[in-house]
Amino acid sequence: MSLRSRTLSYQNFTLSFPDERILQVTLNRPQKLNSIDKATSREIQGVWELFDHDETLWVGIITGKGRAFCTGADLQEWNRMNQTGEINSMDAPGLAGLPRRSGKKPVIAAVNGICMGGGFEMIANCDLVIASSSATFALPEVKRGIVPVAGCLPRLTRTIGLQRTMDLVLTGRTVDARTLENWGLISQVVDASTDVADAAVKVALEMCKNSPDALIVGREGVRMSWEYGSAEEAVSTLADQWYPRLMRGENFSEGIQAFVEKRPVRWVNSKL
């Protein structure tokens, strides 16, 4: 069953479909700067699981409503948990199902405003990050006696480097979108007058011109090269395990045949 055809209603976020192949999750708790409590986190995690199994959807987007993208976990809830002795688990895949998500399909973070703490951990593991020029970013956990352990530290270190990650983690200071673009985390910065979610949809539509099988396998290859310690191991896994699956799909022969016949390509939804 398509995720689009389900009747799904949530208190702290909304689902929309800017295109028949694109899912958009919009955090909608502006009075709390889109902080995420545990119940909401589990709900969004479930959405990404449905997204990965829905053949009609190819690309996901996450963004926020109001002046924040996401300020991380709900610290008022954390405080109540501390007082009752409840353990706050940091198991995968983490806040809103993103900091340690492996998944199957690409997710674009469209950062509209304040992005800090767990919100920063979420985008550090998204496949692309597009940000408004007015967006700000911080890992302020150190100022509250906390450490960002949900998944971003090794991933940020691999993306922006040791010293830059140390700078963010040990000072807790705020940086702007242009800085993180220069450091290599943000792929595109759009003017503050532009709707960053619309910019993300444009990128998603460009991706959707391509084979959905190739989106999945190409993403897997890039992520393996990022996660594995050995480049050769990543290459071997991609070539030995994923490439045969790609070749067996209808889209592999369709892309080549359309090129030879000089006609528009006709992709079918991925079965991978």
The catalytic residues are 121, 141
Spatial distance between the Cα atoms of 114 and 16, rounded to a whole number of angstroms: 22
Among left, alpha and beta (phi > 0; psi -120 to 50; other), residue 225 is alpha
> Which residue's entry shows tokens 């290599």?
184
Tokens of 133: 């020029």
Tokens of 47: 């959405």
- Which ranges in 85-129 belong to alpha helices (H)? 118-124
Tokens of 2: 């398509």
Q: Using the Cα atoms of residue 114, residue 139, residue 42 and residue 50 in order, give the sign of their dihedral.
A: positive
In DSSP notation, 128-177 reads EEEEETT-EEE-GGGGGT----SSHHHHHHHHH-HHHHHHHHHH--EEEH
Q: How far is CA 99 from CA 45, 128, 130, in A?
A: 11, 13, 17
